[in-house]
Amino acid sequence: MQLSKRLQAVAAFVSDGHSVADVGTDHGYIPIYLADGSRDKIIAMDINEGPLSRAAEHIGANRLETLIETRISDGLKALKPGEVQSVILAGMGGSLMIDILSARPEVTASIEEFILQPQSEISKVRNFLQENDFIVRAEEMVLEDGKYYPILYVRHGQDRPYMPAELRYGRVLLQCRHPVLRRFIEREIVQQEQILMQLSDQKSKAAELRKREVAAALMCSREAIERIAQ
């Protein structure tokens, strides 16, 4: 099974031999790809019948029905504590991801590792993780079809609080001076400067608030790019 660059980066974080649940599996591509390894259980989960039916068709076409189970589930609700060691949450919004991680604490506590690929609100996700005793052990960022995708490898644990630039861009990505992150920040700086220029002549309260927000974000971006350049 050939995966997209984004899904390949997600799958690469799953530890060898771990049992795994792919939440929001869609077409079931990651479970099929992971079935090439030595695993005793793979669960493809989705809240909707349609995507899960498509996943089941792909699983059947690859003759993997005995290894990959499909399961209707709203987040982790259909997963038992200790049933898998790894959970994948990819291709969903950050708020939904937080809701899923919060809904079944007894299940979440039993999972060894989480591979998270939020499509939005990445700072909100990182803030939730640090406030709820999760630690980001590794990070990746890929550029595919003009879009930037951060991927987080998370385990239980505590870490020192994030600085604003780390919350926005990722402590590990900044520490390793990730080249894709650098391109992403450079693009952010250009966009932020353009927004401030467009707002420069506007005097409304809403415009002034927006200026302050963008100026703070620009300061954060410049700090981040300085860290990478050091």
HSE, CB side, 13 Å, CA atoms: give it for residue 138: 11
CB atoms within 10 A of CB 135: 14
The answer to whether residue 37 scores a pLDDT higher than 80 is no
Judge whether residue 1 has pLDDT over 80.
no
Q: What is the 3-state secondary structure (H, E, C) of 8-54?
A: HHHHHCCCCCCCEEEECCCCCHHHHHHCCCCCCCEEEEECCHHHHHH
Q: Does position 7 have pLDDT exceeding 80, yes or no?
A: yes
pLDDT at 76: 97
* C-beta of residue 92 within 8 angstroms of C-beta of residue 24: yes
Q: Crossing angle for the helix pair 94-103 and 122-131, nearest 10 degrees?
A: 20
Per-residue pLDDT band at 39 (split at 50, 70, 90): confident
Q: Say which residues have a Cβ less than 8 Å from residue 151's Cβ, sequence separation at least 6.
A: 6, 9, 10, 13, 90, 115, 116, 117, 139, 140, 141, 142
**pLDDT of amino acid 138:** 98
Residue 168 above 80 pLDDT?
yes
Report the predicted TM-score, pTM, of the whole model to 2 decimal places. 0.94
d(CA 67, CA 116): 23
Percent of the chain with pLDDT over 90: 93
Question: How far is the C-alpha of 225 from the C-alpha of 221, rounded, in Å?
Answer: 6
SS3 call for 114: strand
Q: What is the rounded average pLDDT of the residues 57-86?
A: 95
* pLDDT above 80 (res 49): yes
| pLDDT for the residue 12 | 96
Q: How many CB atoms lie within 10 A of CB 16?
A: 8
Do 21 and 68 meet the contact criterion of CB atoms below 8 Å apart?
no
26: pLDDT confidence band, cut at 50, 70 and 90? confident
pLDDT in tens, 108-158: 999 999 999 999 999 999 999 999 999 999 999 999 999 999 999 999 999
Mean confidence (pLDDT) of the chain: 95
Q: What does the alpha-carbon distance between residue 219 and residue 81 come to, in Å, rounded to a whole number?
A: 43
Of 51, 50, 33, nearest to 42 by C-alpha is 33
